[in-house]
Amino acid sequence: MRTMLAGWLSAGICLAVIGTVGCGGPYGPPRKETFSVKGRFTVDGQPPGESLQVECHNKAGIDEKMPYVSQALTEPDGSFEISTYDKGDGMPAGDYVLTVTWKQFNAMSMSFGGEDKLKGRYEDPEKSEITVSVKDKSVDLGEIPLTTK
Protein backbone atom coordinates (compact mmCIF):
# COMPACT_ATOMS: atom_id res chain seq x y z
CA MET A 1 0.00 0.00 0.00
CA ARG A 2 2.82 2.40 0.88
CA THR A 3 4.54 1.72 -2.45
CA MET A 4 1.36 2.49 -4.36
CA LEU A 5 0.81 5.71 -2.37
CA ALA A 6 4.42 6.76 -2.93
CA GLY A 7 4.01 6.05 -6.64
CA TRP A 8 0.86 8.22 -6.84
CA LEU A 9 2.56 11.05 -4.93
CA SER A 10 5.62 10.87 -7.20
CA ALA A 11 3.42 10.92 -10.29
CA GLY A 12 1.45 13.88 -8.89
CA ILE A 13 4.62 15.83 -8.16
CA CYS A 14 6.00 15.08 -11.64
CA LEU A 15 2.78 16.25 -13.29
CA ALA A 16 2.75 19.41 -11.17
CA VAL A 17 6.35 20.18 -12.17
CA ILE A 18 5.70 19.44 -15.86
CA GLY A 19 2.51 21.52 -15.79
CA THR A 20 4.35 24.44 -14.19
CA VAL A 21 7.47 24.31 -16.35
CA GLY A 22 6.03 22.97 -19.64
CA CYS A 23 7.99 23.03 -22.85
CA GLY A 24 8.78 26.75 -22.81
CA GLY A 25 10.32 27.05 -19.38
CA PRO A 26 8.77 28.55 -16.27
CA TYR A 27 7.18 31.47 -18.13
CA GLY A 28 5.52 29.66 -21.02
CA PRO A 29 6.62 29.30 -24.63
CA PRO A 30 9.51 31.38 -25.94
CA ARG A 31 8.58 34.89 -27.03
CA LYS A 32 10.04 37.37 -29.45
CA GLU A 33 10.92 40.82 -28.17
CA THR A 34 8.05 43.24 -28.80
CA PHE A 35 7.89 47.01 -29.24
CA SER A 36 4.93 49.23 -28.45
CA VAL A 37 2.79 50.22 -31.45
CA LYS A 38 -0.12 52.57 -30.95
CA GLY A 39 -2.25 55.02 -32.90
CA ARG A 40 -5.78 56.33 -33.36
CA PHE A 41 -8.25 55.71 -36.16
CA THR A 42 -10.90 58.16 -37.25
CA VAL A 43 -13.79 57.26 -39.55
CA ASP A 44 -15.01 60.03 -41.85
CA GLY A 45 -13.19 62.51 -39.59
CA GLN A 46 -14.79 61.29 -36.34
CA PRO A 47 -13.98 58.72 -33.64
CA PRO A 48 -15.76 55.46 -34.49
CA GLY A 49 -17.65 55.27 -31.17
CA GLU A 50 -17.29 51.47 -31.31
CA SER A 51 -14.44 48.98 -31.56
CA LEU A 52 -12.63 48.49 -34.85
CA GLN A 53 -10.81 45.18 -35.27
CA VAL A 54 -7.14 45.53 -36.27
CA GLU A 55 -4.98 42.65 -37.51
CA CYS A 56 -1.28 42.85 -38.32
CA HIS A 57 0.16 40.89 -41.25
CA ASN A 58 3.93 40.50 -41.44
CA LYS A 59 5.09 41.20 -45.01
CA ALA A 60 7.73 38.45 -44.60
CA GLY A 61 5.00 35.89 -43.90
CA ILE A 62 4.39 33.67 -40.89
CA ASP A 63 7.40 32.82 -38.77
CA GLU A 64 7.25 29.01 -38.83
CA LYS A 65 9.67 28.59 -35.90
CA MET A 66 8.01 31.08 -33.53
CA PRO A 67 4.55 31.93 -34.90
CA TYR A 68 2.58 34.74 -33.30
CA VAL A 69 -0.51 36.87 -33.90
CA SER A 70 -0.53 40.65 -33.38
CA GLN A 71 -3.85 42.48 -33.22
CA ALA A 72 -5.91 45.11 -31.43
CA LEU A 73 -9.40 46.35 -30.74
CA THR A 74 -9.80 50.10 -30.70
CA GLU A 75 -11.35 52.07 -27.90
CA PRO A 76 -14.53 54.02 -28.83
CA ASP A 77 -12.32 57.09 -29.46
CA GLY A 78 -10.37 55.08 -32.07
CA SER A 79 -7.18 54.71 -30.02
CA PHE A 80 -5.41 51.36 -30.01
CA GLU A 81 -2.34 49.52 -28.78
CA ILE A 82 -1.21 46.40 -30.62
CA SER A 83 -1.01 43.19 -28.57
CA THR A 84 0.94 40.03 -29.35
CA TYR A 85 1.44 38.06 -26.15
CA ASP A 86 -0.09 40.35 -23.52
CA LYS A 87 -2.49 43.30 -23.70
CA GLY A 88 -0.73 46.30 -25.24
CA ASP A 89 2.73 44.69 -25.34
CA GLY A 90 3.33 45.65 -28.98
CA MET A 91 4.69 43.52 -31.78
CA PRO A 92 7.98 41.98 -32.91
CA ALA A 93 10.28 43.86 -35.27
CA GLY A 94 9.28 43.68 -38.92
CA ASP A 95 7.30 45.32 -41.70
CA TYR A 96 3.54 44.92 -41.43
CA VAL A 97 0.30 45.68 -43.24
CA LEU A 98 -2.61 46.48 -40.93
CA THR A 99 -6.12 45.41 -41.84
CA VAL A 100 -9.15 47.00 -40.22
CA THR A 101 -12.78 45.91 -40.06
CA TRP A 102 -15.76 47.47 -38.30
CA LYS A 103 -18.33 44.79 -37.56
CA GLN A 104 -21.10 44.50 -35.03
CA PHE A 105 -20.22 42.91 -31.69
CA ASN A 106 -22.54 40.08 -30.65
CA ALA A 107 -22.50 39.85 -26.85
CA MET A 108 -24.24 36.46 -26.91
CA SER A 109 -21.51 34.76 -28.98
CA MET A 110 -18.74 37.15 -27.85
CA SER A 111 -17.70 37.68 -31.47
CA PHE A 112 -17.85 40.20 -34.28
CA GLY A 113 -19.99 39.56 -37.34
CA GLY A 114 -22.22 41.00 -39.97
CA GLU A 115 -21.40 43.52 -42.64
CA ASP A 116 -18.20 45.56 -42.43
CA LYS A 117 -19.21 49.23 -41.97
CA LEU A 118 -15.98 50.16 -43.78
CA LYS A 119 -17.25 48.21 -46.80
CA GLY A 120 -14.21 45.93 -46.92
CA ARG A 121 -11.87 48.78 -47.90
CA TYR A 122 -9.21 47.86 -45.34
CA GLU A 123 -9.70 44.13 -44.71
CA ASP A 124 -7.52 42.67 -47.48
CA PRO A 125 -3.78 42.69 -46.65
CA GLU A 126 -3.04 42.79 -50.39
CA LYS A 127 -4.96 46.07 -50.77
CA SER A 128 -4.61 47.85 -47.43
CA GLU A 129 -2.29 50.84 -47.52
CA ILE A 130 -1.92 51.02 -43.74
CA THR A 131 1.62 49.92 -42.98
CA VAL A 132 4.00 50.02 -40.05
CA SER A 133 7.70 49.31 -39.82
CA VAL A 134 8.82 48.20 -36.37
CA LYS A 135 12.56 48.29 -35.73
CA ASP A 136 13.98 48.50 -32.23
CA LYS A 137 11.80 51.12 -30.54
CA SER A 138 8.19 52.11 -29.91
CA VAL A 139 6.07 53.40 -32.81
CA ASP A 140 3.27 55.97 -32.61
CA LEU A 141 1.28 55.93 -35.85
CA GLY A 142 -0.63 59.07 -34.87
CA GLU A 143 -4.05 59.58 -36.43
CA ILE A 144 -5.02 57.25 -39.26
CA PRO A 145 -8.05 58.41 -41.26
CA LEU A 146 -10.50 55.80 -42.62
CA THR A 147 -13.58 56.34 -44.73
CA THR A 148 -16.92 54.65 -45.26
CA LYS A 149 -17.47 56.50 -48.55
State which residues form the domain around 79.
Answer: 37-146
Do 12 and 76 lie in one domain? The reply is no
Separation of alpha carbons 114 and 146, rounded Å: 19
Do 25 and 56 lie in one domain? The reply is no
Smallest Cα–Cα separation from 60: which of 144, 137, 125?
125
Sort 50 into a burial class: Cβ within 10 Å, 0-12 / 13-18 / 19+: middle
Confidence at residue 27, expressed as pLDDT on a 0 to 100 scale: 65
- The domain that holds 139 is classified in CATH as 2.60.40.10
Residue 10 in this model has a pLDDT that exceeds 70: no
Average of pLDDT values for 73-82? Answer: 97
Separation of alpha carbons 80 and 71, rounded Å: 10
Do 22 and 42 lie in one domain? The reply is no
Do 63 and 6 lie in one domain? The reply is no
Count up the domains in the chain and report the number. 2
* Coil, strand or helix at 60: coil
Asked if residue 56 lies in contact with residue 100, where contact means CB atoms within 8 angstroms, the answer is no
Do 21 and 64 lie in one domain? The reply is no
Residue 14 in this model has a pLDDT that exceeds 80: no
Do 46 and 3 lie in one domain? The reply is no
Confidence at residue 26, expressed as pLDDT on a 0 to 100 scale: 58
Residue 24 in this model has a pLDDT that exceeds 90: no
